[in-house]
Amino acid sequence: EAQVTQNPRYLITVTGKKLTVTCSQNMNHEYMSWYRQDPGLGLRQIYYSMNVEVTDKGDVPEGYKVSRKEKRNFPLILESPSPNQTSLYFCASGIGQDYTFGSGTRLTVV
Amino acid sequence: QQPVQSPQAVILREGEDAVINCSSSKALYSVHWYRQKHGEAPIFLMILLKGGEQKGHDKISASFNEKKQQSSLYLTASQLSYSGTYFCGYELISNFGNEKLTFGTGTRLTIIP
């Protein structure tokens, strides 16, 4: 089954404690992306990747890092999380009508 | 920069029609429309390419005016299942010369019986 898998689904952490949200797709897509969703602000792009070792900033990249060492994986790294990064995060891959979202990760930073 | 959607929210009675608009200040490659149910991932509805085309899917259709850089989503004879938040996504030219997909702020649609 074609899918984008994010882990974890829910995460509560403390300020400053490094964390990684994983994203994996099994569709051999080149394009992958991370978004955060906040009430009234819609889906805002954090980072995206056109292929292995090719990444670029989206609209709200501050406080986040990404890496793309393999085609299937695109982890989102928060080196020093802060409360303003509390949000619902979505990973997505593909292009056009094949653009597929993961189930989301609800992150709370206290 | 995010596309701007309007209205932000709308409440309809079952059977009524709705129009959701989306505009961008940047040159577009294509427009995507998605629907998201509360707590779930957005689901693809349709994609419109340059050329002013109009597409339909059951009683949901959309148009794309590339000159005005605007797209509109039309929901006809709305059903309860249409409730959710609708997002437009614009494909723009990225730093790599390829497309990147940027989403609008969303329109929350509530259908009541």
Give the model confidence (pLDDT) of B73-82 as tens digits.
Answer: 999 999 999 9
Asked if omega into B113 is within 30° of 0 (cis), the reply is no
Best mutation target, A9, A33, A95, A106, to test chain B (most B CBs within 10 A): A95
In which band, very low, low, confident or very high, does the pLDDT at B68 lie, cut at 50, 70 and 90? confident
In A, residues 18-37, which contact B (CB 8 Å cutoff)? 33, 35
CB contact under 8 A, A99 and B100: no
Which pLDDT score is estimated for B56?
67
The rounded percent of chain A whose pLDDT value lies above 70 is 100
Higher pLDDT, B13 or B46: B13
Which pLDDT score is estimated for B75?
94
Residue located via tokens 């429309």: B33
Which pLDDT score is estimated for A35?
96
In B, residues 10-49, which contact A (CB 8 Å cutoff)? 30, 32, 39-44, 46-47
Distance CA B32, CA A29 (A): 18
Which pLDDT score is estimated for B47?
87
DSSP string across A43-110: EEEEEEEEETTEEEE-S--TT-EE--SSSSB--EEESS--GGG-EEEEEEE-SGGG-EE---EEEEE-
Q: Would the pLDDT of B54 be above 70?
A: no
Q: Are B25 and A75 in contact (CB under 8 A)?
A: no
The residues facing B21 across adjacent strands are: B6, B72
List, for residues B81-96, the tens digit of each pLDDT value.
999 999 999 887 666 6
CB contact under 8 A, B103 and A56: no
Structure tokens that stand for B63 in this block: 């148009």
